[in-house]
Amino acid sequence: MKHDNVYDVVVYLSSVLNIAKHPKKFSCLNSFAEGVRRTGHTVHVETQYRYTPSRLAVILGWVTQDKNTPNILLRQQIVDNQARRGNHTMCIDANCWKYIDTQNQFLRYSIGGPFYDQAEYANHNSGPEKWNNIQSTLNLQMKPWRAKGNHILVCMQRDGGFSMKNLDPIQWLANKLVELRQHTTRSIVIRPHPGKPQDFSKFVDPYNNISVIDSSTIPLVQSLHKSWAAVFFNSSSAVAAVCEGIPIFIDDKSCVAWDVANKSISDIEKPQMFDRDQWIWNLSAAHWTDEEGSAGDIYKKFIPYLGI
């Protein structure tokens, strides 16, 4: 249905720079567009760096502060204009199990942004069905909470990503190490973000038992092995820790694992281990496949939140 010459949905292939080089990003956007067509609603697939008003705009990712590229400028224009018109923007974001889902079979869909405490994921009070499917597809399991552990793993995030909320990750790390040493003498292992290597050698401190691992060669799950706890600002990697049974500490309430996270480093020697069932069911229900997109299942799930 097209109201007042406004599309129900515009899907922006141009929200990705060099879309032809990213087949998965191309397929998830096109699959969503096909699903809208199947419902009988109007959809336009935009390939140029221009904004077209719609009830729902669909983009890959969100607005970041570290780039001034045409696709990022377009995302900002889309988000601003959609909000001004009282319409919605859908964010397609990374898989919370990307450490094991190397084919990106599942992606997160939300309207209103990429932050779990602010956006709408249409996943409230979900049952176990999606989690059962993800477990089976990815050969995952929710391991029991660890009985004991040794080191504390501090997981870094890349500079400039929207999940850091403009906070300098290096300064965050420096502050966090000071805070940790006020409450524990355990060894601390820093895991750099593997996607954007940085030099953390200045933090290596044998006297205070602080070391850095090579995240380009050591998988995340291996880093978590024998950990006492894992510390994050706001990272989907926290999901891996929880699934591996490692208690987590998180600073930012927008993190997808906030509901099962310890909040104060003062509890590092006595971390709480939460019930994880409803949390993992809800998180799993925020993830979808391209097949579900092309069938219209994702779009239909969000229609009640769009006012269409």
pLDDT at 213 over 70: yes
pLDDT digits (tens, 9 = 90+) for 44-59: 999 999 999 999 999 9
Tokens of 288: 């979808």
Check if the beta carbon of residue 235 is closer than 8 Å to that of residue 163.
Answer: yes
Q: Tell me, what's the pLDDT at 1?
A: 47
Tokens of 71: 């696709």
Q: All domains of the chain, ordered by start, with CATH?
A: 7-138+284-305 (no CATH), 151-275 (3.40.50.2000)
Measure the CA angle with vertex 165, ends 164 and 170; round to 5°: 45
DSSP 207-221: TTTEEE--TTTS-HH
Check if the beta carbon of residue 274 is closer than 8 Å to that of residue 259.
Answer: yes
pLDDT digits (tens, 9 = 90+) for 215-267: 989 999 999 999 999 999 999 999 999 999 999 999 999 999 999 999 999 99
Instruction: State the pTM of this model.
Output: 0.93
